[in-house]
Amino acid sequence: MEAESRDPQTERSDGIAGIGVVKALAHPVRFDLFNALTDFGPATASGLAERLGESSGSTSYHLRELAKHGLVREVEGRGTARERWWERVPGPLRLASGSRADPVVREVSDELVDRWNEQRAAQLEEFVRRGDEVLEPEWASLATFTTSSLRLTRAEFDALITAYDAWLQEQVAEYRGRDGVPGARPVQIQFNAFPLIDRGAAS
């Protein structure tokens, strides 16, 4: 399903999120739906309702709203008129350049970043706490945690992030959109790169 809206403020194009996309994701149910499809792959509205503890009517409505902004789409050739399957539209999602100049958009986008960070931290914490209990040893042992602290110029920092992102997208491209692969399970690769705020530095 293509996004119905073509307003440049709402359309998601080449992974760039306009104002409308940011506001659409700000809704808690839509945020959870988007992330469930991202993390666990295609699902029906009723399946998502069961996962999130919502009604199927609610998830159906919010899936259609996400589809209007090009964030999710119907899975072609799967499902019926009564039971549609949905998937996240592949690709990265970034805030449009200059959008943060709008204080309203900045507030909403900061809230989204907080939610994403909270969710990712919770997923990581759950793995650390329960991974050895619920996963096979050969899966649990594959996890890795790496931190690199550097001193970079702005140009070097930008180049490093760009290069890493390009490399990662190339590596994962062949695995995107796969469903029903024997022996496969959901995994998550987290990448954070940010300037450190030195609380001990002289003011």
List beta partners, residue 87.
73
Enumerate the domain spans of the chain: 16-94
Give the amino acid at 169: Q
pLDDT in tens, 6-30: 233 334 444 556 778 888 898 999 9
Phi, psi of 88 (to 5 degrees): -75, 140
Q: Where are the alpha helices (DSSP H) in the chain?
A: 19-26, 28-40, 45-52, 56-68, 103-134, 137-140, 154-172
- CA torsion, ordered 89, 94, 98, 99, to nearest 10 deg: 60
**CB-CB contact of 16 with 94 (8 Å):** yes
The DSSP annotation for 167-181 comes to HHHHHHGGGTT--S-
Q: What pLDDT shows up at residue 157?
A: 97
User: pLDDT tens-digit profile of 133-176?
Assistant: 999 999 999 999 999 999 999 999 999 999 999 999 899 988 88
- Contact call for residues 30 and 24 (beta carbons, < 8 A): yes
Q: Which two tokens stand for residue 151?
A: 């001193």
The token pair that represents 4 in the structure block = 């119905």
User: What pLDDT does residue 106 have?
Assistant: 82
**Cβ distance 55 to 133 under 8 Å?**
no
Q: Which two tokens stand for residue 93?
A: 């999602």
Contact (CB, 8 A) for 42 and 61:
no
Summarised one tens digit per residue, pLDDT across range 27-42 is 999 999 999 999 999 9
CATH class for the domain made up of 16-94: mainly alpha
Give the mean model confidence (pLDDT) for residues 51-57.
96
Token look-up 């706490």 returns 129
Q: By the 8 A CB rule, do 24 and 69 touch?
A: yes
